[in-house]
Chains A and B, each alone.
Chain A
Amino acid sequence: MSDLIEGYIGKTTNGKKSRIPAKLDYIQSLTGGFLAIFMWGHMMMVSSILVSKDFMYYVTKFLEGSFIIDGGSPLMVSIFVFIVFVIFVVHAALGMRKLPSNFKQYQVLKAHTKSIQHQDTQLWGYQAFTGFVMFFLGSIHLYIIMTNSADIGPYASADRVWSEWMWPLYIALLLAVEFHGTIGLYRLCIKWGWFDGKDPQATRKRLKKVKWALTGFFLTLGFAALIVYMKIGMEHADKVGEKYVPTSMIKEAK
């Protein structure tokens, strides 16, 4: 009943303004912050392929819980991806509140962004666009990984990238994620006044430098890893489906 009253009257049953907008703003920041930090970890794990196939294999097994269950279980990855997927959807739903919701709003935003040439306004434009792109690309990636968690590994992942034609999607997704995430983290710091200190403007300049450095770092890392997966996938194209066997196991077998 309170939802009905709040929905129609705009006041809680105590006669106060709804506290939900505050919660939504907070949850948007919380979920965004989690996803951005998660993506740092994700990118480090993905780029383990740059060290070696064996290293990537053991990282995968570790994430499957090999330290608890012998040999690890992909189910653990599926469960974790499901949680991330839920957080992703919640964040997307909350982020939508800020997007232009009709043509007039889109028109004025476009004219304003082009006219004022203000960097933070432009950055938000990129954030909004990349967010929109991720509604689709992010969902595809998350669903595939959630339902195929056993197929993560030096060969399985490379086959997905190359033979299953995911590389074009991953190029777009990588750009979208890295821009959206680092701009989002920068904006989180500004929005809540973290690290403001005595000179918030100087802090903002420093934060923006850090933001660009992080964007550059993760894009470089991401593209380097993607190229390696594409190369492995290309070389492994005639043996799609074959799982990677780490060097130590081959030696043991011998």
Chain B
Amino acid sequence: MSRDITISVLKFNPRDEDSKPEFVEYNLKETPGMTLFIALTKIREEIDADLSFDFVCRAGICGSCGMVVNGVPTLACRTLIENYPDGKLQLIPMPAFELIKDLSVNTGKWMDNMSTKVESWIVSNDEVDITKIEEKMDPDTADAVFELDRCIECGICVASCATALMRPDFVGPAGLNRIARFSIDPRDKRTDDDFYELIGDDNGIFGCMSLLSCEDHCPKHLPLQNKIAYLRRKLVSVK
């Protein structure tokens, strides 16, 4: 038997002068295996066509549908309604990001800014000959790089991080993960000195307070605890 569920959404359109932030409740019937994404789609199709939220892949790959569910930042597409025994879900847009409308936030703008700050690309003066096969990488090193490359830029780590919320210039766990990723990539010729120039301050590695909410809420289970500690040890000893 399907149960009744209540989804309460913080609705607000910062571009509409008449809009005031308020919680709007939607009542609907739960269907078997219903995810929050399915529930929100149903609300938009059947109850409130004005409700805004983001999605693309519906499979936890694109990182578009991050939102705060009952206080916890998570992906809507990977959130099963059955995991909420009282059938009540309160949704608010992820903090730290520019609010577009309702549950839709501009994570792209934040990530782009962070990528520029941490120079999130391979830096090398080696000439690349695209007619030749790429140089081989040690499989273990490649695995370590790919492990950190699994970040989908959903922004959940940022919305979970008290430091990032208090200090908007902080590069966040996603930014630190990016540096950790390039620091182990042998194609990147940057030294610890160069990485220090990017994150060697309170907006970078020394701003992190090790609250580990990032690690605990990352939907891809990235090893943020370990990698942030690794970066701290590495950069604190830079002369």
Contacts and interface: CB of A to CB of B under 8 A. Distances in A.
B211 interface: yes
A112 B235 contact: no
The interface centre, meaning the residue of B73, B211, B229 with most chain A CB atoms within 10 A of its CB, is B211
Nearest to B68: A115
B166 A108 contact: yes
B232 A191 contact: yes
The interface centre, meaning the residue of B167, B196, B210 with most chain A CB atoms within 10 A of its CB, is B210
Given A22-B206, A24-B206, A112-B95, A17 B225 contact: no
B225 A201 contact: yes
Contact of A112 (B162, B202, B212): B162
A113 interface: yes
A8 interface: no
Interface string A214-252: 000000000000000000000000000000000000000
Nearest to A119: B216
Contacts of B71: 114-117
A121 B211 contact: yes
A116 B200 contact: no
A17 B203 CA distance: 12
Given A113-B162, A115-B68, A115-B71, A98 B232 contact: no
A201 B229 CA distance: 13
Interface size class of B (residues with CB under 8 A): 35 or more
Interface in B204-219: 206, 208-213, 215-217
Given A109-B162, A120-B216, A200 B223 contact: yes
A105 B95 CA distance: 13
A21 B210 CA distance: 16
B192 to A, nearest CB: 11
Contacts of B201: 17-18, 21
Contact of A25 (B211, B226, B236): B236
A91 interface: no
A193 B162 contact: no
B160 A19 contact: no
A120 B226 CA distance: 16
Given A120-B212, A191-B210, A21 B166 contact: no
Contacts of A191: 208, 210, 229, 232
A204 interface: yes
B197 interface: yes
B230 interface: yes
A97 interface: yes
A75 interface: no
B72 interface: yes
Interface in A182-205: 187, 190-193, 196, 200-201, 204
A24 B201 CA distance: 10
Contact of A120 (B200, B213, B238, B239): B213
Q: Which 8 A-B pairs give the minimum distances between C-beta atoms?
A: A193-B229, A115-B71, A191-B210, A105-B166, A25-B206, A21-B206, A200-B226, A21-B201
